[in-house]
Every structure is written in structure tokens, then in C-alpha cells.
Amino acid sequence: MLPSRRPCVTDTLWWNGERYHVTVGLWPDSLEPAEIWCYGPKCGSERHILIQDVARDLSRQCQDGRDMSEVAAGALRDNDGTPLSIYGLLADFLEMHENDQY
């Protein structure tokens, strides 16, 4: 179970010309990703709800100990490796933070 207070990292990501504010909550002992939140589209819109579902799914995978590089590798990508969906963008962001040292 996650403690009620934990370190986090917040950044702004751009995808398809739109800005997203992304926060990764970290396990206090290992500083590995434990959860992710993402905000961008208007609250209550269909896209906002979809992004919240994606963030919850990715958070659950983090908490279950899934390797985020495997999750990110499963996302659909363009020929240059760019993620084709917000799922891939957020999975890449989690993978980037999986081995960071803060």
C-alpha cells in the first residue's frame, strides 16, 4: 500500500500539439514509479476520462511490479518510434523515471 505522502516528479509533456501535465508518484524507499497522473483535456470530456483510465491502468501496473520498459515496448509506435497514443507517451515517461536516481 502506498503511504499517504510520497515524493513525486511533475513535468509538462507535449503530444500531437497538446500540452499535458504529468506527475509520477514514487515509492519512498526505492524512488521507482508507483503511480501516474495526467491532466490536459477539459475535465469531464471524453478524452480527459480516457486519459484518467490510462493513468489508473499504468499506475496499477507499476504497483504490481511490471517492468515499464516492457509496457512501453508494447505501445503502438510510428516508424520513428514516436508513440501513437497517450498510452505510449505515458508508458515512455514512466520508463524514463524507472531507473532515475533522485
Q: Pick from 93, 41, 39: which is nearest to 62 by CA? A: 93
With bands split at pLDDT 50, 70 and 90, how would you rate the model's confidence at 4?
Answer: confident
Mean pLDDT computed over 54-75: 96
Mean pLDDT computed over 49-59: 97
Alpha helix segments (H runs only) across 1-102: 46-63, 68-73, 86-98
Q: Rounded to 5, what percent of the chain is helix, strand, coil?
A: 35, 25, 40
Question: Helix (H) and strand (E) counts for the chain?
Answer: 3, 3
* Residue type present at position 49: I
Q: Domain ranges for the chain, please list them.
A: 8-98
pLDDT at residue number 54 = 97
With bands split at pLDDT 50, 70 and 90, how would you rate the model's confidence at 98?
Answer: confident
pLDDT at residue number 60 = 97
8-98 placed in CATH 3.10.620: no
